[in-house]
Amino acid sequence: MRGKVVAVAASPEHAFSKPVAEWITLKKGLGVEGDAHCGVTVKHRSRVAADPSQPNLRQVHLIHLELIEQLQAQGFAVAAGTMGENITTLGLDLLALPRGARLKIGDSAEIEITGLRNPCAQLDQFQTGLMRAVVEKSPDGALVRKAGVMGAVSASGVVRAADPIIVILPPEPHERLERV
């Protein structure tokens, strides 16, 4: 499987949206250099409040451009970085990846997928109805989270728009992504 980077974003502040940048630097075991969520331990405020010593499995947030385009078609004013992602991708079914899949990006960066982003009420604070648009129920009643995936940096490197992404699947049996 192959895809590409469409945009990259980072913010040193805990803001919902992140400004698009020319490049971001991924740091092994930490995340996106200069981003509020960079660190060995969890940086998401609700997770810090629960247990600040948790490992940071949410170092990098990725969303597929295809989701952004679907949301735009529904009337939402969203673009790369507006839902807080660090990397916007094209051509990859991020939500179908198994836990432990590795994304080799550009010359040297690599991210290991740890799980699904758990959409929260901040989505509706950003735009009314956005939460409902990225969460639905499957026929068996289970929640389907569509707001992207989270990962941890397994190899450092610079990431830019247009960089290729190569997916390396873990050994089978594959584990479905769960929220992290």
Q: Are strands 109-116 and 102-105 parallel, antiparallel or unpaired?
A: antiparallel
- What tokens appear for 66 in the block? 């295809």
Query: Dmax of the chain from CA atoms?
Result: 43
What pLDDT is recorded for position 120? 84
**Amino acid 109: pLDDT:** 98
- Domains assigned to the chain: 2-168 (2.40.33.20)
Q: Are 109 and 159 in contact (CB under 8 A)?
A: yes
With a pLDDT cut of 70, the percent of the chain lying above it is 100
Q: How far apart are CA 83 and CA 62, in angstroms?
A: 10
Greater model confidence, 122 or 77:
77
CA dihedral 59, 69, 133, 83 (to 10 degrees): 30
Tell me, what's the pLDDT at 10? Answer: 98
Q: Any idea which residue has 């945009």 for tokens? A: 7
